[in-house]
Amino acid sequence: MRSYLHVRLLLTGGLVGALAWAVVVSFLCTGPAVAQSGGWSEPINISNTPGNSRYPEIAADAWGNVHVVWSEDEDGQGWGESIYYTMWNGEAWTESVDIFYTPPAAHIPAVAADSLGYVHVVWNANNTTRYSRARIGDGPWSAAAWSRPQILSTQSAFTTYWTDIAVDDQGNLHVVWTERSAEDELEDLYYSRSVDGGQSWSLPINLSSTPEQQSSFEQIITDAEGNPHVVWLELSRSRAGWDEGDVGVFHSWSSDGGESWFAPEEMSQPGPEGFSGAYPAIIADDQYVYTIWNERRNDPRRDTIFARRWEDGWWSDIAVVTDDSGMIGTSGIWTRVRGVADGAGNLHLVWETWDGEAITVQYVWSEDGGQTWSVPVAISNPSPPSELWRTDIAVSEENRLHVVWFGGGDIYYATYQTTARAETPLPYVASTSAPPTATTPATMPSPTAVIGSTPNPAMVQGGVLQSSWFPLLAGIVPVIALVLLVIAVRGRARQ
């Protein structure tokens, strides 16, 4: 990977040109500082909270903003009781704030940003899956901007755990979560959608229907046609514990925008070969859908990461991403692979790996649709095992990668510019109309809106608010100056 990039640099500009460019960029770039190694920035702490910050998720929008949510354990009891939020507004990260306070448990949030100017969040609050949204123009870095939370999981006797959200180009929202009843003991995968931007939600559909297996670690995305695709892991449990031979990664999708779903299809190779699959990943570009997962085959200390490409309803043969991934799922810790496609259709993957001494975030990319991949490089500092977890990745402006993970009680972030052509982010134009009021459908129990008491942080300069107010100010100031000048000139003429 590193040598690959260097070759590209040498070919395009020469070493002197590259050095000169690096100097210019380091002085002029208003974005995050770019580190020397591999082109990735040095990781920075973006949570900066005294509490234990965990489970970050990241999304980017069409205006170049980046949204990060996570679970915050403020009282040190082990479970987070608040969902925190911060936004990269093109110039800085906003001060992190608690946007939802749902003690005793506010856990495993997920975030999506639509093209209509809304940020959407789902999370697990006390064994229910909850949803809320905020208009970017209203400043999601303040708890007051977020709508009253709705409960999407409708079966009150059931408990929920993992959750994820995706939004398509039309603003339709797709949410999945895992849910189990007291007698079943093992979760199934449920799905609900909203076709009115999150104001009302469909009745949940059970996508896995495997009462004897635990359905978990799901990810949902939408493809270029707006159809949702889900991948998840099926685990079975024997009396003796986890039966690792009988698990697999499954895919299901809908061709009618989420109304009905095809039967799940296994992506991984069935068989008792020591399957260890952590969170599987699903990626969509303009043309294809990709599933990525890991398995531990012959060497109990090493995982192999695999990829398959989906086109016109068919999955390709299985390709190896890397045989040298280290160990992805360490005992008692489930980590994961996550990926995105940039504007050129290049694929970018991140995951956490343990080499027996330390855990690091690894990165690879492919420019041939997942057939061949770069050599993995570490983009985080090495951490003790169990102190680095749950990497997530997003792409903005077609070529800027944004990666988050948690470790040591805080959320860390690194960024990287890919070889794809940059797309200038849209200027954000705040709508003058009032935001639609989120209504709670009658079919759903409505939780009490518990909103954190954090005041609006000082971080309102720059970014969204600036872009909506500065054109107005810029227009008014010269007019006032002109009027004053005319008055002054006339006054002098009369004298």
CB of 471 vs Ca ion, minimal distance in Å: 37
- Interface pick for Ca ion out of 410, 420, 459, 463 (rule CB under 5 A): 410
Residue 1 structure tokens: 């990977």
Q: Angle CA(34)–CA(37)–CA(41) in degrees, nearest 5?
A: 30
CB of 233 vs Ca ion, minimal distance in Å: 10
Stretch that binds Ca ion, among 40-48, 60-68, 91-99, 356-364 (CB under 5 A): 40-48
For Ca ion, the closer of residues 208 and 353 by Cβ is: 208
For Ca ion, the closer of residues 179 and 397 by Cβ is: 179
For Ca ion, the closer of residues 73 and 114 by Cβ is: 73
- Interface pick for Ca ion out of 215, 252, 268, 396 (rule CB under 5 A): 215
Helix, strand, coil content of the chain in percent (nearest 5): 15, 40, 45
Longest CA pairwise span in the chain (Å): 102
CB of 279 vs Ca ion, minimal distance in Å: 16
Note whether 257 and 230 are within 8 A (CB). Answer: no
- Interface pick for Ca ion out of 39, 40, 46, 49 (rule CB under 5 A): 49
β-bridge pairing 158-167 and 389-396:
unpaired
Site track 169-208 with Ca ion (rule: CB under 5 A), x = hit: -------------------x-------------------x
- Interface pick for Ca ion out of 65, 89, 94, 210 (rule CB under 5 A): 210
- Give the start-end residues of each E strand in 21-172: 44-45, 52-60, 66-73, 82-88, 97-101, 106-113, 118-125, 128-135, 150-151, 158-167
CB of 206 vs Ca ion, minimal distance in Å: 9
For Ca ion, the closer of residues 185 and 323 by Cβ is: 185
> What φ, ψ does residue 206 adopt, rounded to 5°?
-85, 115
Which residues lie across from 354 on neighbouring strands? 327, 359
Stretch that binds Ca ion, among 27-35, 46-54, 271-279, 470-478 (CB under 5 A): 46-54
CB of 216 vs Ca ion, minimal distance in Å: 8
68 alpha-carbon distance from chain centroid: 7
Eight-class DSSP state of 383 = B
CB of 178 vs Ca ion, minimal distance in Å: 8
For Ca ion, the closer of residues 111 and 349 by Cβ is: 111
CB of 463 vs Ca ion, minimal distance in Å: 23
Residue found by looking up tokens 């989420």 in the block: 258
CB of 166 vs Ca ion, minimal distance in Å: 21
For Ca ion, the closer of residues 41 and 47 by Cβ is: 47
Conformation bin of residue 247: beta by default, left when phi > 0, alpha when psi is -120 to 50: beta
Stretch that binds Ca ion, among 120-128, 213-221, 344-352, 380-388 (CB under 5 A): 213-221
Residue 342 structure tokens: 């940039």
CB of 212 vs Ca ion, minimal distance in Å: 7
Residue 81: burial class (beta carbons within 10 Å; 0-12, 13-18, 19+): buried
Stretch that binds Ca ion, among 21-29, 240-248, 407-415, 460-468 (CB under 5 A): 407-415
For Ca ion, the closer of residues 54 and 348 by Cβ is: 54
For Ca ion, the closer of residues 84 and 428 by Cβ is: 84
What CA–CA distance (Å, rounded) separates 388 from 402?
A: 17
Stretch that binds Ca ion, among 53-61, 223-231, 380-388, 437-445 (CB under 5 A): 53-61
CB of 434 vs Ca ion, minimal distance in Å: 35
Residue 86 binds Ca ion (CB under 5 A): no
For Ca ion, the closer of residues 73 and 285 by Cβ is: 73
For Ca ion, the closer of residues 54 and 133 by Cβ is: 54
Residue 47 binds Ca ion (CB under 5 A): yes
333 alpha-carbon distance from chain centroid: 20
Concatenated DSSP letters of 80-108: --EEEEEEE-SS-BPPPEEEEE-TT-EEE
- Interface pick for Ca ion out of 172, 194, 213, 268 (rule CB under 5 A): 213
Q: How many residues bind Ca ion (CB under 5 A)?
A: 10
Residue 53 binds Ca ion (CB under 5 A): yes
CB atoms under 10 Å from CB of 236, counted, come to 16
Residue whose C-alpha is closest to residue 302's, from 362, 242, 262, 246 = 362
For Ca ion, the closer of residues 53 and 160 by Cβ is: 53
Instruction: Tell me the H-state helices in 416-462.
Output: none
- Interface pick for Ca ion out of 343, 409, 436, 462 (rule CB under 5 A): 409
State whether the Cα torsion 216-46-102-451 is positive or negative: negative
What CA–CA distance (Å, rounded) separates 402 from 229?
A: 22
β-bridge pairing 347-354 and 337-341:
antiparallel
CB of 236 vs Ca ion, minimal distance in Å: 9
Residue 81 binds Ca ion (CB under 5 A): no
Cβ neighbors of 301 (< 8 A, separation 6 or more) are 326, 327, 356
Residue 227 binds Ca ion (CB under 5 A): no
Note whether 328 and 322 are within 8 A (CB). Answer: no
Note whether 269 and 319 are within 8 A (CB). Answer: no
CB of 209 vs Ca ion, minimal distance in Å: 7
Residue whose C-alpha is closest to residue 96's, from 140, 130, 131 = 140
For Ca ion, the closer of residues 107 and 120 by Cβ is: 107
What are the residues binding Ca ion (CB under 5 A)? 47, 49, 53, 188, 208, 210, 213, 215, 409-410
